Structure 1
Amino acid sequence: MIYTVTLNPSVDYIVFTDTIKLGELNRAGQTYKFAGGKGINVSRVLKSHGVESTALGFTGGFPGEFIKNSLQEADIMTDFIEVAEDTRINIKLKGASETEINAPGPAVTNEQTEQLLEQIRRLSPEDTLVLAGSIPSSMNADIYRKIAQMCPGKLVVDAEKDLLLSVLDSHPEFIKPNKAELEQIFDRKLETVDEIKDCARELIKQGAKNVMVSLGGEGALFVSESLVYKAEVPSGKVVNTVGSGDSTVAGMIAGIARGLSLEESFKLAVASGTATAFTEDLATKEQIDNVLSDIKLTIV
């Protein structure tokens, strides 16, 4: 079984508007509400690929109920731990550019944290655990490290600098920083594929088995100790980048779960992320299949 962990889930309220004028009344065009959070997004895209998963994490209040109901309606299994405060609501403003307003998230007690750790302890060596996204401010910063160390199965991690670095000695199957996160980790501007590749290889030296780097419109890299794939993506109208990286993670996991080769799995990963960027919500299987043949891989 694949388990996704979202420590700080959200209801993502996406608002499309032509202009945003601060201090004035603004009228929205289309609006959407989705169950959000990186691990939850991975579970939703896995479902599009026909791959089952169970979503873990913390939910509370009416936004938490919305998340649970949304996933259950999509036939995605959940085993969330209930907290007293409301799950956060994040606002995504889509105008001439994208603006995000992310709330901090609810308080999580030590007892509730221990409940989650007990869920992790019960996993089997055959299970895959996806650890993705931010943590509530009430949780200790070492929570990723604790989860990674006690995970008995395969580990996949998509998180920012310190959270990501804290799990490397647990040898995750792959990690997925984007280019900006890689630049933050190494405190330098990365201009070329070789520079990105060298930084990814450094993370492999520190413990990661593989590194997948998303490059936005420039595609993606998959870096192992002995091989590097560069993916080129088709041009298209980018509608919504929220969840694109999570879709990439889900596509890679889905390919591996279906027994595809490393090359085919990476191609499916990039197609999943690209298709999501071209739609208002996370991509469906049909949308992913429509761009799959346009993804070009080269060994670099």
Structure 2
Amino acid sequence: MIYTVTVNPSIDYIVQLKELTLGEVNRMDYDNKLPGGKGINVSRILRELGHDSVALGFLGGKTGEIVREALEHDGLKTDFTPIAQDTRINVKIHAQQETEINGRGPHVSDAEVASFKEQLSHLTADDTVIFAGSLAPNLDSGFYFDLIKMIRQQEAQFVIDTTGESLLKTLPEHPLLVKPNNYELADLFHTTFNGLDDIVAAGRKLLTMGAQHVLVSMAGDGGLMITPDKVYRSLAPKGTVINSVGAGDSMIGGFVGTFAATNDPLEAFRYGLACGSATAFSEDLATRAKIDEILPQIEISEYK
């Protein structure tokens, strides 16, 4: 089973208006309320692809009930840990510019953390846990690392969507997938790249440090998958970028879901690219129809 973990989920209140004028009353043209969180996004993409997952994390109060009910209404399996404080609300304003006002999120007690950890105490080698998104305000990065060690002791796989030193700390535990973009990869090693050969060399370094698969997204230049033996490249499919939010989550969902079903990293790479691009070309996360539309455009070639 694939488990996604969203520690600090939200209701995303999306507001659209032609122009936002500060200090005046503004009237919106459109609004919507959606369950938010990077792990939740991954679960939504897995559902579109027909892969089972269970969405885990913390939910509390009336806002938490709204998130859970919305996910279950959409057919997602959930097993969130209940907490005393309310799940946060994020406001996403689409006007002349996109503006976000994100809530801090609830305090999670020691007892609530212990209850959550119990949910992950029965994993097997057939399971994969995906950590994505910000932590609740009172939790530090040690929260993820404690869970990762517990997961690996049970021989389950894990993916954590993070960058910088936080990413480097996970590598000795052999994450199934790491997914930096080319800029994040350069920052990771405090360097600049002068071409694809430099990117490949840095990606291979991540493999030697413990990563099992390395994907490097390069926006309009496509993406790379770096393995110990070979490097594969795909150019970006054609389309108009409408919304980059969730594209990375979609790429993870496409890769992990396909890899879990096929154990074929090349096919997983193809679906990861298609899902990421399909979301970028959509107003919300990609639908299966949009993913299927993009898939024929994904041409993967071996890069020396």
> TM-score if structure 2 supplies the norm length?
0.91
Query: Corresponding residue for 1:237?
Result: 240
Pairwise mapping of residues 129-144 of structure 1 onto structure 2 (< 5 A)? 129-144=129-144
What letter corresponds to residue 81 of structure 1 in structure 2? T
Query: Which of 177, 185, 190 in structure 2 is aligned with 1:187?
Result: 190
C-alpha distance in structure 1 between counterparts of 2:180 and 2:36, whole Å: 19
Residue 41 of structure 1 deviates from its aligned partner by: 0.7
Structure 2 residues without counterparts, runs of 5 or longer = none
For residues 55-76 of structure 1, the C-alpha deviation after alignment (integer angstroms, 9 at most, x for no partner) is 1111112221121011111221
Pairwise mapping of residues 41-190 of structure 1 onto structure 2 (< 5 A)? 41-151=41-151, 152=154, 153-190=156-193
Alignment: residue pair count: 300
C-alpha distance in structure 2 between counterparts of 1:10 and 1:183, whole Å: 31
Residue 108 of structure 1 deviates from its aligned partner by: 1.0
Aligned 8 A contact 2:12 2:90 in 1: yes
Query: Corresponding residue for 1:296?
Result: 299
What letter corresponds to residue 298 of structure 2 in structure 1? I
C-alpha distance in structure 2 between counterparts of 1:87 and 1:170, whole Å: 31
Q: Call closer, same or farther: CA 1:20–1:226 in 2, change over 3 Å.
A: farther
C-alpha distance in structure 2 between counterparts of 1:278 and 1:130, whole Å: 24
For residues 69-101 of structure 1, the C-alpha deviation after alignment (integer angstroms, 9 at most, x for no partner) is 111112211111112222122222334543333
C-alpha distance in structure 2 between counterparts of 1:177 and 1:203, whole Å: 10
Secondary structure of the 1:241 match is coil
Query: Corresponding residue for 1:270?
Result: 273
Pairwise mapping of residues 277-288 of structure 1 onto structure 2 (< 5 A)? 277-288=280-291
- Root mean square deviation of aligned Cα: 1.9
C-alpha distance in structure 1 between counterparts of 2:227 and 2:289, whole Å: 30
Query: Corresponding residue for 1:200?
Result: 203
Residue 189 of structure 1 deviates from its aligned partner by: 4.0
Residue 238 of structure 1 deviates from its aligned partner by: 1.6
Residue 209 of structure 1 deviates from its aligned partner by: 1.1
Aligned 8 A contact 1:144 1:167 in 2: no
C-alpha distance in structure 2 between counterparts of 1:195 and 1:94, whole Å: 37
Aligned 8 A contact 2:219 2:236 in 1: no
Q: Which has the larger radius of gyration?
A: 2
Pairwise mapping of residues 20-31 of structure 1 onto structure 2 (< 5 A)? 20-31=20-31
Pairwise mapping of residues 208-219 of structure 1 onto structure 2 (< 5 A)? 208-219=211-222
Secondary structure of the 1:213 match is strand
Q: Call closer, same or farther: CA 1:237–1:173 in 2, change over 3 Å.
A: same
**Structure 1 stretches (4+) deviating beyond 6 angstroms?**
none
